[in-house]
Amino acid sequence: MRTHGLRRLSVECLEQRRCLAASIGWDGPGPGSAELLYSIGPIPEQLDRQQVETAIEAALDVWSDVADLEFNRTTQSGQEDAIDIRFKSLDGPGGTLARAYFPDDLNRNPIAGDVEFDIGEQWEVGNRLGSAAYDLMLVAVHEIGHALGLDHTHEAESVLAPFVSPNQFFTSLSPADVD
């Protein structure tokens, strides 16, 4: 959905979400902590695999730098306590950029915490292409926030704001994101 040059990020399919609920996040080894696996599926041909992997790992680090989280990479998708990251066809260009599923307190494994980027969109790392592509790092930080149990916020500077412009790129979390 286009709204004056802004695009709505999707958290999860509304058809699968019958009530508005907040996630309490993953259950880790202590209060407020989690140890999660993550996998990165196939990368679209137009993207450089190393750049995508670096951007995803940096997006995970953004969250582990401000919370008691540990992420360990695996090559096997579909495991418990794991975030599977993949590109797939969601709705084609001009629609939903990406979606993430809340943790296993609201979604069953293996979909719990998964992140999906629409293969039909134009992606880049950074903002070299300006309004011609979306910054994968910015959208990854946003969606991983949802995969960790965080919902949208109304704070305009927050990475968890529900809208993104193709001219935006990730710089840092806002104080609202860290809180």
143 is catalytic: yes
Active-site entry in 116, 121, 124, 143: 143
Count of other CB atoms within 10 angstroms of residue 123: 25
Q: Where are the alpha helices (DSSP H) in the chain?
A: 49-64, 136-147, 175-178
CA 84-85-86 angle, 5° bins = 120
Instruction: Supply the DSSP symbol for 139.
Output: H
User: What is the C-alpha radius of gyration for the chain, rounded to an integer number of angstroms?
Assistant: 15
User: The tokens of 161 are what?
Assistant: 């704001």
- Catalytic residue numbers read 143
